[in-house]
Structure 1
Amino acid sequence: MLNVGVIGLGVGERHANVYKNDVRCRLKGIHDFNHKKCENLKSKFPRVKIYRSDNEIINDENIDLISIASYDNYHFKQVINSLKKNKHVMVEKPICLYKEELDQIIEIKEKKKNIQLSSNLVLRANPKMVDVKKDIMLSSFGSIYYIEADYFWGRTSKLSGWRSKMDYYSIILGAAIHMIDLVIWMLGVKPISVYAIGNRIGSNTTDLKFNSFAVMLLKFSNGLIAKITGNGPCVHPHFHGIKVFGSKKTLIHNFHESFYFNKTKNKTNKVTLKKTKFKSDNKDKIITNFIDSILNPKINPIVTEQDIYNAMSVCLAAEESMNANRIVKIKY
């Protein structure tokens, strides 16, 4: 039985529900900087202790697993402190904001071989994305030469909240990281360089003083190009779009439909795919699998610590590229 503590009760409330409903776990405690949130959840989690600080919940020797869903700028400190206290850690993206922080996490985690670390990069559990990855692995696209992966965030009102109060908010680390991780996971290879640009035109009426839109061009060693966007202020439903272009087949997955184009002789055929919803149990799969990996060391997490480091390395190189206005070689 794993004793679990959850920090941050926005999306963290979903984390808490997963642990509460898993017979292998005991949801022992919750914490949020907004104590009213904790009080409001008392009726939902009547037997759960409310901790007054993140340090208090992390320092509790009876807790085995800390799930971190606080604001982005608190993740690094909470991850580091949890690892130092020998807690398994599930953290919402991003795990941190700067390269120096990532280096510290890697250094400490190297000393904690028996501790599991994962991040809730949920698109790996999306059935549609799983099917696309299978097709790629079966080489049904032929030679893939170009991919587009777009994160339509479309939640402009949230840009004036806690994100605007951070010393630095990154739309790449806060949104596009999902699409970066998705492309690396689908292809099974890492990009070698990145060029990124962005702007805040779409959010200039909000309190956010940082870029709310970014576009990245990733280059792979075989010449494949992937275009990734993090589109914060778009007038569009929240959605993750993807297009895969190969020598034999093309996939288009947009808000309205998903379909393939393939060729028979000189004719291009459209094959419409069945719509599949990204259901709650799929969204929770990253966390439930993480529990599996803690209880059974033979099971690997769907998102390993190396997967986190790879996606973060691309994001940080993209940030460097955007600031320097040049192509940056990605260091892993």
Structure 2
Amino acid sequence: MIRFAIVGCGHIAKKHAEAIKNSEGAHFYAVCDTVEDKMKPYIEEYGVKGYNSLEDLLNDPEVDVVNICTPSGFHANIAVQAAEAKKHVVVEKPIALTLEDTDKIMDACKRNNVKLAVVHPNRFRPAFIKLKKWMEEGRFGKLSHANCTVRWNRNQAYYDQAPWRGTKSLDGGVLMNQAIHNLDLLIWLMGDVEEVYSMDATRLRNIEAEDVSAGVARFKSGALGVIEAAVTIYPKNFEESISIFGEKGTIKIGGQTANFIEHLVMEGLSEEEVEALKAEIKENPFGKPGHQCIIEDMVEAIKEDREPVVTGEDGKRALQLVVSLYESAESRKPVILG
């Protein structure tokens, strides 16, 4: 059994706890948080050990993997310390808030020969698994453009839950916190981005970072992209979607959290086949929980001594897109990536 420990017992830690509990070959061993009361529910429900000190946790030889579930601004320091202690690392999105910190994490993991996985779980949704296969097979032909949309609501009460929410140093805005999952999917499907131009604003929320962003991108393939992200939608989440347009097909995967095939026309695919696919996805739109897929893949990556499916490089690509969009919005100029 591969023994997992969670650092940071906030909201997202519960998903990690359930994923570890339900994953074959994984054992939920410990939690770590500086606030004792946050650890208690996990200690009582799962029977795990509790550590107030990261150093004490990392000194425990029974810990194989550290899952980092703290505010984003703390990811880098914890990940580097875990790697130096020879622990494998699963880090929540974003991998870090700067490319420099991301490189420190990746370097530490490489030097200490430990695995690094970044939590971008939406790749494991059934609709996107099918779309990825079609993209790899070139079923859409030459690509014209793609559209990436996150129209959600995060009200002021959400940001007022904790002082770090919405700050540039520990959290970031809608691009860094909410839309980065959608941006990861966009890159995974369309390939690397070459150039961006973006604008953002803080319109409705009393936060330091942006609550709405609009931008355009050019992929290395020559295809274009449109990126829209907001947490200002009234009164609740409206939609998350990715649409892809090519010479032989058009698809939109949407819904409140991008789970359903809302539109599909593809050369060689009959209307009956399209309706059957839509119905198949509708029956099980989430599939196996993405966090569980990440945990099970880490177990196998350790046993097989291979890279995890969602690597540090993947996390860096998504972060680089966000950082470049920020840079463009601040400079009011196009930005070339890399």
Partner of 1:41: 42
The amino acid of 2:182's aligned partner reads: M
Structure 1 position 16 matched with structure 2 position 17:
yes
Aligned-residue offset at 1:146: 0.8
TM-score (norm 1): 0.88
Aligned-residue offset at 1:164: 3.8
Q: Work out whether residues 152 and 237 of structure 1, in 8 Å CA contact, stay in contact via their aligned partners in 2.
A: yes
Partner of 1:260: 264
3-state secondary structure, aligned to 2:14 = helix
Query: Structure 1 residues 89 and 263 mapped into 2: Cα distance closer, same or farther (>3 Å)?
Result: closer
148-157 or 208-217: which moved more? Answer: 148-157
Query: Structure 1 residues 228 and 54 mapped into 2: Cα distance closer, same or farther (>3 Å)?
Result: farther
Match of 2:334 among 306, 327, 330: 327
Aligned-residue offset at 1:323: 1.5
Aligned-residue offset at 1:202: 3.1
1:65 and 1:221 map into 2 onto residues whose CA distance is: 35
Question: After the TM superposition, which residues 33-182 of structure 1 pair with which residues of structure 2 at under 5 Å, given as runs?
Answer: 33-46=34-47, 48-112=48-112, 114-156=113-155, 157-162=157-162, 163-164=165-166, 167=169, 169-182=172-185
CA deviation string 1:82-128 (max 9, x = no partner): 1111110001011111232123223323313x210011101110111
Q: Work out whether residues 94 and 174 of structure 1, in 8 Å CA contact, stay in contact via their aligned partners in 2.
A: yes
Query: Structure 1 residues 223 and 249 mapped into 2: Cα distance closer, same or farther (>3 Å)?
Result: same
Q: Work out whether residues 29 and 51 of structure 1, in 8 Å CA contact, stay in contact via their aligned partners in 2.
A: yes
1:180 and 1:257 map into 2 onto residues whose CA distance is: 18
Aligned-residue offset at 1:198: 1.0
Partner of 2:33: 32
CA deviation string 1:159-197 (max 9, x = no partner): 23331456452322212221221112113x211111121
1:325 and 1:285 map into 2 onto residues whose CA distance is: 39
Return 5+ residue gaps in structure 2 as ranges.
none
Q: How many residues in Structure 1 have an aligned counterpart in Structure 2? A: 321
2:54 and 2:298 map into 1 onto residues whose CA distance is: 22
Partner of 2:192: 190
TM-score (norm 2): 0.86
Query: Structure 1 residues 223 and 52 mapped into 2: Cα distance closer, same or farther (>3 Å)?
Result: same
CA deviation string 1:285-319 (max 9, x = no partner): 12211221111124x42202221222222222222
Q: Work out whether residues 95 and 312 of structure 2, in 8 Å CA contact, stay in contact via their aligned partners in 1.
A: no
Query: Structure 1 residues 39 and 144 mapped into 2: Cα distance closer, same or farther (>3 Å)?
Result: same
The amino acid of 1:194's aligned partner reads: V
Partner of 1:312: 319
Return 5+ residue gaps in structure 1 as ranges.
none
Aligned-residue offset at 1:280: 4.7
2:39 and 2:28 map into 1 onto residues whose CA distance is: 14
Q: Work out whether residues 26 and 296 of structure 2, in 8 Å CA contact, stay in contact via their aligned partners in 1.
A: no
Query: Structure 1 residues 58 and 232 mapped into 2: Cα distance closer, same or farther (>3 Å)?
Result: farther
Q: Work out whether residues 120 and 287 of structure 1, in 8 Å CA contact, stay in contact via their aligned partners in 2.
A: no
1:164 and 1:221 map into 2 onto residues whose CA distance is: 32
Structure 1 position 202 matched with structure 2 position 209:
no
The amino acid of 2:312's aligned partner reads: E
The amino acid of 2:59's aligned partner reads: N
Q: Work out whether residues 79 and 95 of structure 1, in 8 Å CA contact, stay in contact via their aligned partners in 2.
A: no
64-73 or 278-287: which moved more? Answer: 278-287
Q: Work out whether residues 251 and 261 of structure 2, in 8 Å CA contact, stay in contact via their aligned partners in 1.
A: no
CA RMSD of aligned residues (A): 2.5
Higher relative contact order (CA 8 A, sep 6+): 2
Q: Work out whether residues 248 and 263 of structure 1, in 8 Å CA contact, stay in contact via their aligned partners in 2.
A: yes
